[in-house]
Amino acid sequence: MGRAMFGPEVTRFAALRKAMEDRWIPEMQRLLSIVDHDLPLLWDADFLFRPGEAISDGSYALCEINASSVAPFPPSAVQPVAAAAIGRALAIRLTKETSNPH
């Protein structure tokens, strides 16, 4: 079976997405002491289906989170990711300029 990607409009995985956004990522952040602005702007996650179970957030296991070699998907994600990257770069630049004036 090949790789499949789905956008946020696909309701089939709404419970899985909600579990990841509302529980799994915040718990990972707490365990690893990662604040929101230190998370990658662009990443994806791979899941394994547990056969024989009903489709729900409990019927999938998180296989991996990828933060490199990831392409924006869906195409509508390109502009928000670019804007967020510019915002982060400007914030870092401003922080450096105010903490180390020349």
**Mean pLDDT across the chain, nearest whole number?**
82
Q: Which residues of 25-44 are buried (b: 16+ CB within 10 A; e: fewer)?
A: beeeeeeeeeeeeeeebbee
Question: Has residue 33 got a pLDDT over 60?
Answer: yes
Give DSSP secondary structure letters for 78-97: HHHHHHHHHHHHHHHHHHHH
pLDDT top residue among 83 and 63? 83
Per-domain residue ranges of the chain: 1-71, 72-102
Question: Has residue 73 got a pLDDT over 70?
Answer: yes
